Amino acid sequence: MLPAGLRVPVVVFDLEWSSPFAYTCNACSRCCYGKAILVGPYEVLRLARNRGLTTTELLAACVEGGGVLLRVRPDGGCVFLTERGCGVHPDRPLACRLYPLGRNIDAQGRERFGHLPPHPQTAGVYGRDGTVGDYLSRQGVEPYFAVGARYAGLYQRMVAVLARLAEGGVEAEAAAAPGMGPASPWLDVDATVAAYCRERDLAPPATLEEAVDLHIRAVDAWLEGLATSLPAAPPAA
């Protein structure tokens, strides 16, 4: 559920990579108020690493909504907004890089983009002298898209497994991150990877890329374990 006061905008996803589009941000920061900024494991990991925090610490301090949304301050501003603008600009989440666009991948794997409604007093300037692809490249979305694609199948599997456990009244065993709920191993990368390495006598990851690799393996192993507690499928009619 979204925190009070936040709404999901209605967006028409009718743009492709080659569609005409340009946007110049003039750093008014108005887009950093009243937004539900979703984060995934890669975003949490990057934000934590470059602040000298573990993902457990970052999640506790900066994330809400069951562990998937950046915390919103009482004045509606993002937890990372400073007087000089975004305080985490090099590691800002994908949603902030895409803005003022949103991205949708439909059931057939077709990728489209759409205009998010701008703040009425935005200082950002829209244009058509470029393409969606030009804009996104300048925003550094490539690693986010690439890692997101690696996690996509795992995410679908986790949602399906947790839903089946919930239907059967079985509580998923989750580690670390207080208040995170059953999907804690999904976002608390450091705690999940540390437990995985400890149990298998593996060296801890030295780089962010190694952490992602090990996390994908750890979540896969976690889901394998959860699958053994799934309620038996009803007999075929």
C-alpha distance across the termini of the chain, in Å:
36
Query: Looking at beta carbons only, is 30 or 217 nearer to ligand SF4?
Result: 30
> According to CB under 6 A, which residues from 76 to 105 bind ligand SF4?
78, 80-81, 86, 88, 92-93, 96
Which helix (H) or strand (E) element contains residue 42? helix 41-49
Q: By the 8 A CB rule, do 196 and 202 touch?
A: yes
Query: Looking at beta carbons only, is 67 or 93 nearer to ligand SF4?
Result: 93
- What does the block give as tokens for 203? 């060296």
Query: Looking at beta carbons only, is 32 or 161 nearer to ligand SF4?
Result: 32
Choose the stretch contacting ligand SF4; rule: CB under 6 A; options: 30-38, 188-196, 203-211, 229-237.
Answer: 30-38
Question: CB burial class (10 A; 0-12, 13-18, 19+) of residue 66?
Answer: middle
* Residue 209: partners with Cβ closer than 8 Å, 6 or more residues away: none
Query: Looking at beta carbons only, is 135 or 196 nearer to ligand SF4?
Result: 135
Choose the stretch contacting ligand SF4; rule: CB under 6 A; options: 32-40, 105-113, 155-163, 169-177.
Answer: 32-40
Question: Smallest gap, in angstroms, from Cβ of residue 87 to ligand SF4?
Answer: 6
Binder of ligand SF4 out of 15, 21, 23, 35 (CB under 6 A): 35
Confirm or reject binding of residue 32 to ligand SF4 (CB under 6 A). yes
Q: By the 8 A CB rule, do 115 and 77 touch?
A: no
Q: How many residues bind ligand SF4, per CB under 6 A?
A: 12
The binding site for ligand SF4 (CB under 6 A) comprises 32, 35, 37, 70, 78, 80-81, 86, 88, 92-93, 96
